Amino acid sequence: MKNGIYIVATPIGNVSDISARATEILREADIIACEDSRMTKKLLSLLGISSVGKTFIKLEDHTEAKQADKIIELAKQKAVILVSDAGSPLISDPGYKLIRRCREEDVHVCVVPGACALICALQLSGLPTNSFLFSGFIPNKDKARRDLFNKLKDIDATLVFYETANRIIKTLVTAAEIFGNREVAVAREITKVYEECLRGTAKELITHFETKEPRGEMVFMVAPPDDKANNILDVKILLHEELKTNSLKTAVKNLVSRYGLNKNEVYQQALKIKDE
Protein backbone atom coordinates (compact mmCIF):
# COMPACT_ATOMS: atom_id res chain seq x y z
CA MET A 1 0.00 0.00 0.00
CA LYS A 2 1.13 3.52 -0.81
CA ASN A 3 2.13 5.72 2.18
CA GLY A 4 -0.54 8.08 3.48
CA ILE A 5 -3.87 8.13 5.27
CA TYR A 6 -6.71 5.78 4.26
CA ILE A 7 -10.13 6.95 5.50
CA VAL A 8 -11.96 3.64 5.85
CA ALA A 9 -15.71 3.33 6.56
CA THR A 10 -16.87 0.45 8.76
CA PRO A 11 -20.42 -0.95 9.21
CA ILE A 12 -23.05 0.83 11.35
CA GLY A 13 -24.69 -2.41 12.47
CA ASN A 14 -24.52 -5.20 9.96
CA VAL A 15 -20.94 -6.43 9.70
CA SER A 16 -21.55 -7.76 6.17
CA ASP A 17 -21.77 -4.15 4.98
CA ILE A 18 -17.98 -3.83 5.10
CA SER A 19 -16.61 -3.46 1.58
CA ALA A 20 -14.17 -5.92 0.04
CA ARG A 21 -11.66 -3.07 -0.35
CA ALA A 22 -12.00 -2.03 3.31
CA THR A 23 -11.47 -5.64 4.45
CA GLU A 24 -8.37 -5.99 2.31
CA ILE A 25 -6.90 -2.72 3.57
CA LEU A 26 -7.63 -3.57 7.21
CA ARG A 27 -5.97 -6.97 6.72
CA GLU A 28 -2.84 -5.44 5.20
CA ALA A 29 -2.61 -2.49 7.60
CA ASP A 30 0.16 -2.20 10.18
CA ILE A 31 -1.09 1.03 11.77
CA ILE A 32 -4.71 1.84 12.57
CA ALA A 33 -5.84 5.18 14.04
CA CYS A 34 -9.14 4.60 15.82
CA GLU A 35 -11.41 5.92 18.56
CA ASP A 36 -11.47 2.81 20.73
CA SER A 37 -9.06 -0.01 19.93
CA ARG A 38 -11.35 -2.56 21.65
CA MET A 39 -14.13 -1.77 19.15
CA THR A 40 -11.75 -1.93 16.19
CA LYS A 41 -10.19 -5.20 17.37
CA LYS A 42 -13.70 -6.65 17.75
CA LEU A 43 -14.52 -5.68 14.16
CA LEU A 44 -11.25 -7.19 12.91
CA SER A 45 -12.03 -10.40 14.75
CA LEU A 46 -15.53 -10.55 13.18
CA LEU A 47 -13.84 -10.15 9.80
CA GLY A 48 -11.40 -12.95 10.62
CA ILE A 49 -8.43 -10.56 10.73
CA SER A 50 -5.81 -10.92 13.46
CA SER A 51 -4.87 -7.81 15.47
CA VAL A 52 -1.47 -9.27 16.35
CA GLY A 53 1.39 -7.17 15.01
CA LYS A 54 -0.84 -4.16 14.31
CA THR A 55 -0.34 -0.83 16.10
CA PHE A 56 -3.46 1.00 17.27
CA ILE A 57 -3.29 4.77 17.82
CA LYS A 58 -6.10 6.43 19.73
CA LEU A 59 -7.65 9.40 17.94
CA GLU A 60 -10.26 11.37 19.89
CA ASP A 61 -11.79 14.79 19.30
CA HIS A 62 -10.11 16.45 22.26
CA THR A 63 -6.61 15.06 21.56
CA GLU A 64 -6.80 15.09 17.77
CA ALA A 65 -4.67 18.16 17.17
CA LYS A 66 -1.86 16.68 19.29
CA GLN A 67 -2.15 13.17 17.85
CA ALA A 68 -2.20 14.53 14.29
CA ASP A 69 1.55 15.35 14.46
CA LYS A 70 2.43 11.77 15.33
CA ILE A 71 0.06 10.24 12.76
CA ILE A 72 1.28 12.53 9.98
CA GLU A 73 4.91 11.60 10.63
CA LEU A 74 3.94 7.91 10.41
CA ALA A 75 1.83 8.47 7.28
CA LYS A 76 4.83 9.96 5.49
CA GLN A 77 6.56 6.58 5.81
CA LYS A 78 3.72 4.04 5.90
CA ALA A 79 0.03 3.46 5.22
CA VAL A 80 -2.07 4.59 8.20
CA ILE A 81 -5.71 3.53 8.33
CA LEU A 82 -8.27 5.87 9.91
CA VAL A 83 -11.48 4.27 11.20
CA SER A 84 -14.28 5.27 13.58
CA ASP A 85 -16.03 2.97 16.03
CA ALA A 86 -18.73 2.65 13.35
CA GLY A 87 -19.64 4.29 10.05
CA SER A 88 -17.78 6.96 8.13
CA PRO A 89 -14.84 8.69 9.85
CA LEU A 90 -15.00 12.52 10.16
CA ILE A 91 -18.83 12.61 10.14
CA SER A 92 -19.57 13.54 13.77
CA ASP A 93 -16.40 11.59 14.46
CA PRO A 94 -12.70 12.56 14.73
CA GLY A 95 -10.47 13.05 11.69
CA TYR A 96 -11.19 16.45 10.18
CA LYS A 97 -8.22 18.22 11.81
CA LEU A 98 -5.93 15.37 10.85
CA ILE A 99 -6.99 15.43 7.18
CA ARG A 100 -6.71 19.20 7.06
CA ARG A 101 -3.12 18.91 8.30
CA CYS A 102 -2.42 16.20 5.70
CA ARG A 103 -3.56 18.59 2.97
CA GLU A 104 -1.28 21.32 4.30
CA GLU A 105 1.69 18.95 4.47
CA ASP A 106 0.99 17.23 1.16
CA VAL A 107 0.46 13.82 2.72
CA HIS A 108 -1.43 11.39 0.47
CA VAL A 109 -5.09 10.91 1.52
CA CYS A 110 -7.59 8.48 0.05
CA VAL A 111 -11.08 7.38 1.00
CA VAL A 112 -12.57 3.90 1.17
CA PRO A 113 -16.31 4.65 1.34
CA GLY A 114 -19.07 2.69 3.04
CA ALA A 115 -21.93 3.05 5.51
CA CYS A 116 -22.82 6.51 6.80
CA ALA A 117 -25.80 6.75 9.16
CA LEU A 118 -27.05 10.11 7.88
CA ILE A 119 -27.16 8.96 4.25
CA CYS A 120 -28.87 5.65 5.11
CA ALA A 121 -31.45 7.53 7.23
CA LEU A 122 -32.23 9.95 4.41
CA GLN A 123 -32.63 7.05 1.98
CA LEU A 124 -35.07 5.33 4.36
CA SER A 125 -37.07 8.44 5.26
CA GLY A 126 -38.97 9.25 2.08
CA LEU A 127 -38.18 12.93 2.74
CA PRO A 128 -36.73 15.03 -0.10
CA THR A 129 -33.09 14.15 -0.80
CA ASN A 130 -32.31 16.74 -3.49
CA SER A 131 -31.17 19.21 -0.86
CA PHE A 132 -30.37 18.40 2.75
CA LEU A 133 -28.48 19.92 5.64
CA PHE A 134 -26.69 17.73 8.16
CA SER A 135 -26.16 19.42 11.50
CA GLY A 136 -24.48 16.72 13.60
CA PHE A 137 -25.64 16.04 17.16
CA ILE A 138 -28.49 18.08 18.62
CA PRO A 139 -27.44 20.03 21.74
CA ASN A 140 -28.73 18.63 25.02
CA LYS A 141 -29.52 22.00 26.64
CA ASP A 142 -33.08 23.24 25.95
CA LYS A 143 -32.07 26.76 24.95
CA ALA A 144 -29.25 25.63 22.65
CA ARG A 145 -31.58 23.11 20.97
CA ARG A 146 -34.30 25.74 20.50
CA ASP A 147 -31.77 28.26 19.15
CA LEU A 148 -30.41 25.72 16.67
CA PHE A 149 -33.88 24.75 15.37
CA ASN A 150 -34.85 28.42 15.06
CA LYS A 151 -31.65 29.13 13.11
CA LEU A 152 -32.34 26.27 10.66
CA LYS A 153 -36.11 26.39 10.36
CA ASP A 154 -36.37 28.49 7.18
CA ILE A 155 -33.68 26.65 5.24
CA ASP A 156 -35.15 25.06 2.13
CA ALA A 157 -33.74 21.58 2.71
CA THR A 158 -34.39 18.40 4.68
CA LEU A 159 -32.66 18.80 8.05
CA VAL A 160 -30.73 15.80 9.36
CA PHE A 161 -29.36 15.35 12.90
CA TYR A 162 -27.76 12.61 14.97
CA GLU A 163 -29.66 11.89 18.17
CA THR A 164 -29.72 9.42 21.05
CA ALA A 165 -32.67 7.40 22.40
CA ASN A 166 -32.65 9.08 25.82
CA ARG A 167 -32.97 12.57 24.31
CA ILE A 168 -35.38 12.00 21.43
CA ILE A 169 -38.55 12.95 23.33
CA LYS A 170 -37.06 16.28 24.44
CA THR A 171 -35.99 16.89 20.84
CA LEU A 172 -39.47 16.08 19.53
CA VAL A 173 -41.05 18.46 22.06
CA THR A 174 -38.82 21.32 20.86
CA ALA A 175 -39.43 20.27 17.24
CA ALA A 176 -43.22 20.42 17.77
CA GLU A 177 -42.83 23.92 19.18
CA ILE A 178 -40.61 25.23 16.37
CA PHE A 179 -41.44 23.18 13.27
CA GLY A 180 -45.16 22.86 14.07
CA ASN A 181 -46.85 20.39 11.75
CA ARG A 182 -43.93 19.84 9.42
CA GLU A 183 -43.29 16.18 8.81
CA VAL A 184 -40.39 14.69 10.78
CA ALA A 185 -38.80 11.23 10.71
CA VAL A 186 -36.77 9.09 13.08
CA ALA A 187 -34.66 6.30 11.56
CA ARG A 188 -33.37 3.89 14.17
CA GLU A 189 -31.18 0.81 14.40
CA ILE A 190 -30.30 1.11 10.71
CA THR A 191 -28.98 -2.15 9.21
CA LYS A 192 -29.73 -3.96 12.50
CA VAL A 193 -32.49 -6.44 13.35
CA TYR A 194 -34.95 -3.80 14.59
CA GLU A 195 -34.32 -1.22 11.86
CA GLU A 196 -37.30 1.11 11.43
CA CYS A 197 -38.12 4.55 10.13
CA LEU A 198 -41.04 6.42 11.70
CA ARG A 199 -42.68 9.42 10.05
CA GLY A 200 -45.33 11.90 11.14
CA THR A 201 -45.59 15.21 12.92
CA ALA A 202 -43.38 15.68 15.98
CA LYS A 203 -46.51 15.38 18.16
CA GLU A 204 -47.43 12.06 16.56
CA LEU A 205 -43.95 10.68 17.19
CA ILE A 206 -44.08 11.86 20.82
CA THR A 207 -47.30 9.86 21.24
CA HIS A 208 -45.60 6.86 19.64
CA PHE A 209 -42.55 7.00 21.93
CA GLU A 210 -44.72 7.51 25.00
CA THR A 211 -46.16 4.05 24.46
CA LYS A 212 -43.06 2.44 22.99
CA GLU A 213 -39.85 3.35 24.79
CA PRO A 214 -37.28 4.81 22.36
CA ARG A 215 -34.27 2.55 21.98
CA GLY A 216 -31.12 2.25 19.93
CA GLU A 217 -29.14 4.60 17.74
CA MET A 218 -31.18 7.13 15.81
CA VAL A 219 -31.18 9.85 13.19
CA PHE A 220 -33.74 12.67 13.39
CA MET A 221 -34.96 14.43 10.23
CA VAL A 222 -37.27 17.35 9.44
CA ALA A 223 -38.99 17.93 6.07
CA PRO A 224 -38.23 21.21 4.25
CA PRO A 225 -40.60 24.11 5.04
CA ASP A 226 -42.13 24.18 1.57
CA ASP A 227 -42.75 20.49 1.31
CA LYS A 228 -46.50 21.09 1.53
CA ALA A 229 -47.42 17.70 0.17
CA ASN A 230 -45.72 16.17 3.19
CA ASN A 231 -47.24 18.58 5.65
CA ILE A 232 -49.98 16.17 6.63
CA LEU A 233 -51.80 18.15 9.28
CA ASP A 234 -51.64 21.47 7.42
CA VAL A 235 -53.49 19.96 4.49
CA LYS A 236 -56.06 18.51 6.87
CA ILE A 237 -56.61 21.86 8.58
CA LEU A 238 -56.84 23.69 5.26
CA LEU A 239 -59.35 21.13 3.99
CA HIS A 240 -61.47 21.43 7.10
CA GLU A 241 -61.66 25.18 6.51
CA GLU A 242 -62.49 24.80 2.82
CA LEU A 243 -65.15 22.16 3.44
CA LYS A 244 -67.05 24.48 5.76
CA THR A 245 -68.15 26.56 2.80
CA ASN A 246 -67.41 24.50 -0.31
CA SER A 247 -68.27 21.16 -1.87
CA LEU A 248 -65.59 18.45 -1.73
CA LYS A 249 -64.74 18.97 -5.40
CA THR A 250 -64.33 22.75 -5.03
CA ALA A 251 -62.35 22.42 -1.79
CA VAL A 252 -59.86 20.06 -3.46
CA LYS A 253 -59.65 22.25 -6.57
CA ASN A 254 -58.99 25.36 -4.47
CA LEU A 255 -56.15 23.79 -2.45
CA VAL A 256 -54.54 22.16 -5.48
CA SER A 257 -54.45 25.41 -7.43
CA ARG A 258 -53.48 27.56 -4.42
CA TYR A 259 -50.64 25.39 -3.07
CA GLY A 260 -49.63 23.22 -6.04
CA LEU A 261 -50.53 20.02 -4.13
CA ASN A 262 -51.02 16.57 -5.60
CA LYS A 263 -54.72 16.41 -6.62
CA ASN A 264 -55.21 12.72 -5.88
CA GLU A 265 -53.57 12.96 -2.43
CA VAL A 266 -55.72 15.96 -1.46
CA TYR A 267 -58.83 14.24 -2.81
CA GLN A 268 -58.13 11.09 -0.74
CA GLN A 269 -57.54 13.24 2.33
CA ALA A 270 -60.82 15.10 1.71
CA LEU A 271 -62.72 11.80 1.39
CA LYS A 272 -61.28 10.70 4.76
CA ILE A 273 -62.43 13.95 6.39
CA LYS A 274 -65.93 13.54 4.92
CA ASP A 275 -66.06 9.97 6.30
CA GLU A 276 -64.97 11.15 9.75
The footprint of ligand SAM (CB under 6 A) covers 12-13, 84, 86-88, 91-93, 115-118, 162-164, 187-192, 217-219
Least separation in angstroms between residue 235's CB and ligand SAM is 29
33: burial class by Cβ within 10 Å (0-12, 13-18, 19+)? Answer: buried
Q: Is 105 helix (H, G, I), strand (E, B) or coil?
A: coil
Report the residue number, 76 or 170, with the smaller CB distance to ligand SAM: 170
Closest distance to ligand SAM from the beta carbon of 231 (Å): 25
Measured from the CB of residue 147, what is the shortest distance to ligand SAM in angstroms?
A: 20
| Min separation Cβ 107 and ligand SAM, Å | 22
With CB atoms as reference, the residue minimizing the distance to ligand SAM is 87
Give ∠ CA 131-116-5 in degrees, rounded to 5: 115
- Smallest distance from the beta carbon of 221 to ligand SAM, in angstroms? 11
189 vs 204, beta carbon nearer ligand SAM: 189
H or E element at residue 127: none
Nearer to ligand SAM, 110 or 237 (CB): 110
Pick 134 or 267: Cβ nearer ligand SAM: 134
Give start and end residues of each alpha helix (H) in the chain.
20-28, 37-46, 64-77, 96-104, 117-125, 142-152, 168-179, 202-211, 232-245, 248-259, 263-275
Contact in structure between 184 and 201 (CB atoms under 8 Å): yes
Q: Which of 189/227 has CB closer to ligand SAM?
A: 189
Q: How far is 166 from 259, CA to CA, in rounded Å?
A: 38
User: Which residue, 23, 68, 75, is CA-closest to 44?
Assistant: 23
